[in-house]
Amino acid sequence: MRAGLVVTGDEVLAGRVGERNARYLAADLDARGVVVERVVTVGDDRPAITDAVRGLLAGAPDLVVTTGGLGVTHDDVTMEAVAEAVGVPLVLDEDALARVRAAVARWPVDDLIGPEVRDRTERKQAMLPRGAEVVPPAGTAPGAALRSGPTLVVVMPGPPGEVTRMWAEATAGGPLADLLARAAPPPRRVVRIHGIIEAQLVERLDGEGDDALAGVRAGICARAGELEVVLTETGARPGAADALVERLRTWFGADVFAEGGEGLDEVVARLLTDRGETVAVAESCTGGMLGARLTARPGSSAYVLGGVIAYADRVKRELLGVPAATLAAHGAVSAPAARAMAEGARARTGASWALAITGIAGPGGGGPGKPVGLVFIACAGPDGTEVTRHVFRGDRDGVRERSVTHALHLLRRRLTGEPAGPRG
């Protein structure tokens, strides 16, 4: 089953807003066995949107989804463009109008706009392509689902929160649910490996010859010190994905930290929960990114106690108990400082484990013996404290992201009893 996505919005095209909808929809469709062949991004221009939809329809995919441009302003023209692309007029849909009015009634707009403007904007959002089925709104604007030859076209709003809610409802019942029920995801394994680079995996695969990837398509993505390897069977050799997973285990051992699709955050959360243990953080150069990542998951209050963003040396001393003599002798970016930060966070919060990060994220601040990218990560636990030293490449954001990822891997390895060791 094949699909195409059209993302609309001047703010997206100009880079003022980060695009999230195509990423979400593509991942969901991929998990269902639908191949997203093209993603097109266009501005809030009716002819451009029309051309984009027509271009996708020309390939006769099973599904085309658009996001954005369903609001009340003059540049919300997607519904009109889709109608033109499909070749039907826009008509006022009474069901859609009732839903819009019910949604608007929940908002205190009477003191903000007059009744004429309110009626006009409500009617604008209720104009759908003739023959379309209403997709209930997640905000005030409804979506639409309509057929164009062999293709189902689904029109959705732009705010990511509305897209996720509307998509969940649309895939639970109606024409989209009926379509997706016919999709069949192929056998697939998702393996995540820490601490190796792509070239190491390529070297192993090349050493196996043509047999290594027989019957399987391998997608390899590197990010922040990890490799994600997606193995999809082509049907020519049943069990090929499982066989390759076995090889990855043999080649990389404990560096293979997930095989069932879960990511690092899920692995750490599961380990802490299963053990009934807790974690706290002490952060300098990452400025709260580690704590934010640990608490991003619902239910994280069961295992995250809190933390300290200790940017200044005074905060390191007064809140974490880092000895002034340690800072004077070794500096804030040092193994002794990281050790003291982690131990201080653990002692002050009573957590089972504590992670600390201190480093030079750049672009300035480096010097002799302490280059930009130098980071020390410490993990204090019931059986002592371990500190690792890293020199990360990349810009400020990259150094900070890698620091957080490696801190979580250090904790993961301590929880599983695996040796940590330095990893860059």
Residue 359 CB neighbours (<10 A): 28
pLDDT at position 50: 98
158's tokens: 């732009």
Asked if the structure places residue 55 within a domain, the reply is: yes
Buried b (16+ CB within 10 A) or exposed e, 375-398: bbbbbbbeeebbbbebebeeebee
Cα torsion angle, 72, 73, 74, 76, sign: negative
Residue 358 shares a structural domain with residue 283? yes
Task: Please provide residue 244's backbone torsions phi and psi, each rounded to the nearest 5 degrees.
Answer: -70, -35
Number of domains in the chain: 3
> What DSSP designation does 370 have?
B
Question: Which CATH number does the domain housing residue 324 bear?
Answer: 3.90.950.20
Asked if the structure places residue 424 within a domain, the reply is: no
- Domain span at 284: 265-416
DSSP string, 221-274: EEETTEEEEEEEE-SSSTTHHHHHHHHHHHHHGGGEEESBS--HHHHHHHHHHH
pLDDT at position 44: 96
pLDDT at position 110: 63
Kindly give the parts of the chain with pLDDT less than 50: 422-424
Residue 134 shares a structural domain with residue 245? no
Q: Final residue of a domain: which of 206, 230, 258? A: 258
Residue 27 shares a structural domain with residue 86? yes
List 377's β-bridge partners, or say none. Answer: 357, 388
pLDDT at position 236: 82
pLDDT at position 248: 95
- The answer to whether the CB of 129 falls within 8 A of the CB of 98 is no
DSSP-based three-state secondary structure for 371: coil
Residue 24 shares a structural domain with residue 78? yes
Crossing angle for the helix pair 115-125 and 94-105, to the nearest 10 degrees: 130
Residue 215 shares a structural domain with residue 239? yes
- Measured CA to CA, the distance from residue 29 to residue 322 in angstroms comes to 50
Residue 226 shares a structural domain with residue 297? no
Q: What is the tens place of the pLDDT at every residue in 289-309?
A: 999 999 999 999 999 999 999
Q: Final residue of a domain: which of 159, 180, 201? A: 180
Question: Which CATH number does the domain housing residue 72 bear?
Answer: 3.40.980.10
Residue 210 shares a structural domain with residue 126? no
> What DSSP designation does 93 have?
-
pLDDT at position 111: 65
Residue 247 shares a structural domain with residue 154? no
Asked if the structure places residue 185 within a domain, the reply is: no
Asked if the structure places residue 421 within a domain, the reply is: no
pLDDT at position 387: 98
Asked if the structure places residue 7 within a domain, the reply is: yes
Residue 172 shares a structural domain with residue 247? no
Residue 115 identity: P
DSSP-based three-state secondary structure for 150: coil
Residue 242 shares a structural domain with residue 276? no
Residue 61 shares a structural domain with residue 131? yes
- Measured CA to CA, the distance from residue 413 to residue 420 in angstroms comes to 6
Question: Which CATH number does the domain housing residue 214 bear?
Answer: 3.30.70
| Beta strand extents in 127-245 (DSSP E only) | 127-129, 133-135, 143-148, 151-156, 188-194, 216-223, 226-233
Asked if the structure places residue 117 within a domain, the reply is: yes
Q: Final residue of a domain: which of 145, 180, 215? A: 180
pLDDT at position 235: 84
pLDDT at position 116: 84
Residue 364 shares a structural domain with residue 284? yes
With residue 392 as reference, give the H or E element that holds it: none
Asked if the structure places residue 14 within a domain, the reply is: yes
Asked if the structure places residue 423 within a domain, the reply is: no
